[in-house]
Amino acid sequence: MHIIESGNVAAALGVKLSRAQVIAAYPITPQTPLTEKLSEFIESGEMEAQYVPVESEHSAMAVCIASSSAGARAFTATSANGLLYMHEQIQWAAGARLPIVMCVVNRGVGAPWTIWNDHQDSISQRDTGWIQYYVNDHQQIIDGVIKAFMLAEEVMIPVMLCYDGYLLSHTYMPFEVPEASAVDAFLPPYKPAYALDPENPANLNTVTMPDVRLDAKGRLAHGYMEIRYLLQEDLIRTIDVMARIDESFRKHFGRGGSPYYETYQCEDAEFIAVSLGSLSYHLRDVVDMLRADGFKVGVMSVHLYRPFPAEAIADALAGSTGIVVFEKALSYGYQGALCSDIKSALYHKGVDGSRMPFVHNYILGLGGREIRTTDLCEAFRKSCTEGAAPTDELRWLGLKI
């Protein structure tokens, strides 16, 4: 059934359909309506789950860690400074290999204080060992939440599903709500290989020595480095698992086919814009405008950002003349994180001396600064006509200084 609702409601419906058993969250704009909706579902009996109101985001993630360790399907959501306040527990959840799903409703971080959208919050959590998946509209939010639980539980790595604050969270658009029975057929109940059991007490994630050693039963146990190596290995393996889950979802629901990234008009494109989230859809209109003027341009939305599907992305981009990365976040002191990752992915394509596309990087929309279609169009056009630049200088769009 199609409904017209906000992005936050799409996320809440996805969590309900996934039959999450524990919700622990602390309200923060623009995430608040999502967790309010979940508490309404639980209060009215529509959803069978325990809602744990907590005094902070740090505790929200701690409750998710505890309940996930006990074998429950756990969910939380946050934004901006709330996400940063969780940071220690976020790292813990990944190291402990708990399949928690968290919606990050993207918002700029303080200081100075802002409530509006950019991507600095989730980008700053890029290196925590979580899977990060960015979506572009409400259909991808609700479908993405359901797929996120399946992915997290298959690889035992937590997932951040990231969507734009206000632009998606508070905007209304039509989307299809899957039937509960169809979701049940796609996503089986969570059955952990191990869960906390009062009858069989255990220590989890205690001090782990630098070297491997024999455990209490005389078996050789992993040291810290082995445990972390396995997290990396499983994250790399996640790239293939994501494609398989997306394919299974497509068979069940008829939607999908773009597990890593989505492209528009890229088949014959000489210049490709790359972006995360709703901005990459906005750029489709810009592509149409520039195509009308004779420019062979396209746009790529990156969905799976961690693990980074470097090979697939490099294959899709390497044949172009130029790449223009539009970003709502940056690694302060260098450049946009996505831009660095794309250049890194392309590097091995050029080691044999092949011609490499140039890469331009625009930073825009920080703290909700308006992103005007005409500005995007001019910037993309300029990159197409200028070509390779002598320096790797960062370009700012919409800056008024």
Burial class (CB in 10 A: 0-12, 13-18, 19+), 55: exposed
State the Cα–Cα distance between residues 165 and 278, nearest whole angstrom: 10
CB 109 within 8 A of CB 121: yes
State the Cα–Cα distance between residues 130 and 116, nearest whole angstrom: 24
Q: Which stretch binds other proteins (CB under 8 A): 70-78, 91-99, 168-176, 224-232?
A: 168-176
Residue 281 interacts with other proteins (CB under 8 A): yes or no? yes
Q: For residue 211, give every residue at least 6 positions away whose Cβ sits within 8 Å of its Cβ, in sequence order, or none.
A: 223
CB 121 within 8 A of CB 83: yes
User: What does the angle CA 279 – CA 280 – CA 283 come to, to the nearest 5 degrees?
Assistant: 90
User: What does the angle CA 84 – CA 88 – CA 91 come to, to the nearest 5 degrees?
Assistant: 105
For the bound state, the minimum distance from the C-beta of residue 169 to other proteins, rounded and expressed in Å, comes to 10
Residue 261 interacts with other proteins (CB under 8 A): yes or no? no
Residue 37 interacts with other proteins (CB under 8 A): yes or no? no
The DSSP code for 178 is: P
Residue 171 interacts with other proteins (CB under 8 A): yes or no? yes
Q: Considering CB under 8 A, how many residues would be counted as binding other proteins?
A: 22
| Contacting residue, 1, 2, 201, 202, with other proteins by CB under 8 A | 2
| Encoded tokens for 73 | 């399907």
Residue 373 interacts with other proteins (CB under 8 A): yes or no? yes
Nearer to other proteins, 154 or 375 (CB): 375
Q: Which stretch binds other proteins (CB under 8 A): 12-20, 88-96, 164-172, 179-187?
A: 164-172
Q: Which of residues 47-76 bind other proteins (CB under 8 A)?
A: none
CA nearest 339: which of 355, 367, 366, 363? 363
Q: Which stretch binds other proteins (CB under 8 A): 58-66, 100-108, 226-234, 282-290?
A: 282-290
For the bound state, the minimum distance from the C-beta of residue 239 to other proteins, rounded and expressed in Å, comes to 27
| Contacting residue, 55, 199, 370, 393, with other proteins by CB under 8 A | 370
For the bound state, the minimum distance from the C-beta of residue 68 to other proteins, rounded and expressed in Å, comes to 33
CA nearest 135: which of 108, 110, 159, 114? 159
| Contacting residue, 282, 296, 303, 328, with other proteins by CB under 8 A | 282
The DSSP code for 78 is: E
* Upstream peptide bond of 111 is cis (omega within 30 degrees of 0): yes
Beta bridge partners of 273: 299, 324
**Phi then psi dihedrals of residue 121, to 5 deg:** -65, -55
Nearer to other proteins, 372 or 382 (CB): 372
| Contacting residue, 8, 78, 278, 335, with other proteins by CB under 8 A | 278
For the bound state, the minimum distance from the C-beta of residue 371 to other proteins, rounded and expressed in Å, comes to 6
Nearer to other proteins, 101 or 287 (CB): 287
| Contacting residue, 19, 58, 87, 170, with other proteins by CB under 8 A | 170
Q: Which stretch binds other proteins (CB under 8 A): 162-170, 181-189, 228-236, 337-345?
A: 162-170
| Encoded tokens for 11 | 């996320």
Q: Which of residues 85-124 bind other proteins (CB under 8 A)?
A: 115-116
CA nearest 339: which of 349, 355, 328, 351? 328
Residue 205 interacts with other proteins (CB under 8 A): yes or no? no
CA nearest 349: which of 308, 323, 310? 310
Residue 4 interacts with other proteins (CB under 8 A): yes or no? yes
Instruction: Using CB under 8 A, list all residues that contact other proteins.
Output: 2, 4, 30, 115-116, 166-168, 170-174, 278, 281-282, 284-285, 370-373
